[in-house]
Structure 1
Amino acid sequence: MKRLDKIVNMKNTCAAYGDFNGMHRGHLKIITELVAQAKKRGMKSVVISRPAKEEILTNEDEKAYFLERAGVDVLISCENEPDLLEQAIQTIGAKVLVVGENHKNLENVKVTANNAGIEVIICEPEKEDQQIITTAIVKKALIDCNFEKVTSLLGHPYIIIGKVVHGKALGRTVGMPTANLDTCETKLKPPSGVYATSIYVDEEHLKAMTNIGKRPSVDNFDYVTIEAFILDFDRDIYGRELVLEVQRFVRGVEKFNSLEEVQQQVQKDIQKVRDFLAA
């Protein structure tokens, strides 16, 4: 899949555009229809994404992760385009637009596209318990640590993509060196706590216990870290990009009085993670 940071001249494309902040089942339905229509008509499938500036569920790298797997040909991420619809019609040569039925500007999309002779394909929204799936509903489930619901709403586990960076190596003091994951500041992180997670390094699937949040037992710094202790793994992966899937909430943040207490709790947490991921 080709990635661009501005709209460029193209011909004969099938396009979808919007924030796609969440890549939930409703978004994925639009993308699946986009790819199918493009293949059917011999066109390129193009997604025009407007990156959100507020706290986000899915950043541009994560959108690209899902779109590439769905078979999209081009992802254009552009923050400053004044009118993406007009740009899509005039510049990328869109012959077909695929949009969701609950698009906030649906009537304007239909009128503008019809005036330009562009076919509009409208996708019905996806629902969960008779309620239309929205990014806001996914965020609430995430904040509530209801990861079974999060996965159901998204159609996939909640992911965090980032590079492994050097931390303070404090995990080694409790016998568990961790991979410190760096991601964008606006990425919405799960509430502070310990999680059972899956990790992919170049498509290799690994299991991990991941701590998200501050570390009251080891330092007093006021920032959130994402530290993954990968089970049964001892290779150097500094600088590598990881895809981390959050599977289950294990426990919240606790402050321990001694290194021995931390080590004992770590062993309990590891066993819970093994049990969760083996189920």
Structure 2
Amino acid sequence: MKIIQRFQDYEPQTPLALSIGMFDGVHIGHQTIIRQLNTIAAENRMESAILTFWPHPRTIFNPDDDLKLLNTIDEKTYLLQKNGVQHLFLKEFDAPFRNLTGEEFVHEILIRTLNVKHLIVGHDHTFGKNKSGDFALLEKMAPDLGFGVQQVQAVDYLGKHISSTQVRNALAAGNIKEANAMLGYVYSVTGTVVHGKKIGRTIGFPTANIATDALKFLPGKGAYIVEVFVLGERHKGMLSIGHNPTIGENALSVEVHILDFDRDIYGEKISVNFRDFLHEEIKFDGLESLTARLAEDEQLTRDFLF
């Protein structure tokens, strides 16, 4: 997959089948669009492409919005490549770009700059200054400018349209299986192992504290069954997201106890795949009751099949 961060670095040759959007999560709704892009590209001697934005436009229009994303830029790039996208345009949502009207965007970006010959958009996609562009505008302009256009309807799960927001809501509620079903893959978090308070080792449950990307969305506070990847190995683990209320007031932390593992991994990269929810964050009346619950969680984790 070719990654282009500046339009001036792209020399349009082969016509493109393109879709536009944030594609946060690259969930199964997004994957439906990508499959159609790839099919149209293959059948019409085009190449498939995604035009997305970094950072998220909401950070421009709502700078006080504490937006968290399902994917880091590296994760999104990997998922798009895995799904067969041939070109990825990572566009900064700068002032000249966001001030283009819908018609200007079609003429200047899609046709003149990128040589788009087929465009696929989602069911509610708008573009251009003040959302002046939509599917109706594309249908109107397409015949004269010589490009095809189609609108893909939303994919439903449990009676709801799948969206990045719905995935975030499921993760926030601890509905891991529901979130993974909408994503079409297992949600993961990657970070670096850092030093913590080392309370866990005093009660027989040492944990690796994970420093995560500041923009990465974390599931809701509580305990989870996870699949852990570290030092090239795969292990089962039980992970906690929260403030460790049993031992006092603390900053939010992400800590994982890796089963049957006893190695120094400070400074190492670690990834965790979320497989199931154990329980919400609990304030125990002491370390003894905390340890007892951890033992129960450990058994549930050992019994979980993955």
* TM-score over 0.5 (shorter chain): yes
Give yes or no for the alignment of 1:93 onto 2:104: no
The Cα offsets for residues 121-173 of structure 1, whole Å up to 9 and x where unpaired, read as 4323211244322233333322332222222222223332x321313252333
Contact 2:192 2:212 in 1 (8 A): no
One-letter code of the match for 1:254? Answer: I
SS in 2 for 1:36: helix
Which of 21, 32, 39 in structure 2 is aligned with 1:29? 32
Whether 1:152 aligns to 2:155 is no
Q: Which residue of 1 aligns with 2:290?
A: 262
Amino acid at match of 1:27: H
TM-fit CA distance, 1:202:
8.3
For structure 1, the 5+ residue unaligned runs are none
TM (normalized to structure 2)? Answer: 0.77
Unaligned runs of 5+ in 2: 60-66, 127-133
Residue in structure 2 matched with residue 228 of structure 1 by the alignment: 256
Q: 1:95 to 1:205 in 2, by over 3 A?
A: farther
Q: State the secondary structure of the residue aligned to 1:245.
A: strand
Q: Give 1:76's match in structure 2, choosing from 86, 89, 92.
A: 89
1:50-69 alignment runs, 5 A limit = 50-51=53-54, 52=56, 53=59, 54-69=67-82
Q: Please give the alpha-carbon distance, in whole angstroms, between the structure 1 residues aligned to 2:25 and 2:91.
A: 17
Is the contact between residue 28 and residue 182 of structure 2 (CA under 8 Å) also seen in structure 1?
yes
Asked if 1:190 corresponds to 2:215, the answer is no
Describe the SS at the equivalent of 2:237.
Answer: strand
Identical columns (%):
30
Paired with 1:64 and 1:90, the residues of 2 have a C-alpha distance of: 25
**Counterpart for residue 278 of structure 1:** 305
Matched, 1:3 2:3: yes
Q: Is the 8 A contact 2:224 2:278 kept in 1?
A: yes
CA contact (8 A) 1:169 1:177 kept: no
What one-letter code is carried by the residue in structure 1 that aligns with 2:121? V
Matched, 1:166 2:194: yes
Q: CA 1:252–1:238 in structure 2 vs 1: closer, same or farther (change >3 Å)? A: same
Query: How many angstroms does 1:239 deviate by?
Result: 4.5
CA distance in 2, matches of 1:190, 1:64: 21
Between 64-73 and 32-41, the greater mean CA deviation after superposition: 32-41
1:259 positional shift = 3.3
The one-letter amino acid of 1:9's match is Y
3-state DSSP of counterpart to 2:246 = coil
1:174–1:262 contact (8 Å) kept in structure 2: no
* Of 247-256 and 114-123, the range deviating more from structure 2: 114-123
Which of residues 169, 177, 182 is equivalent to 2:206? 177
Is this contact kept in 2: 1:196–1:209, CA < 8 A? Answer: yes
Deviation at 1:237, TM superposition (A): 4.6
Letter in 1 for 2:48: S
CA contact (8 A) 2:4 2:10 kept: no
Distance in structure 1 (CA, Å) of the matches to 2:38 and 2:27: 17
Residue identity matched to 1:87: I
Change (3 A) 1:207 1:94: farther
Cα deviation for residue 219 of structure 1 reads: 4.8
The RMSD of aligned alpha carbons is 2.8
Q: Distance in 2 between matches of 1:6 and 1:179?
A: 39
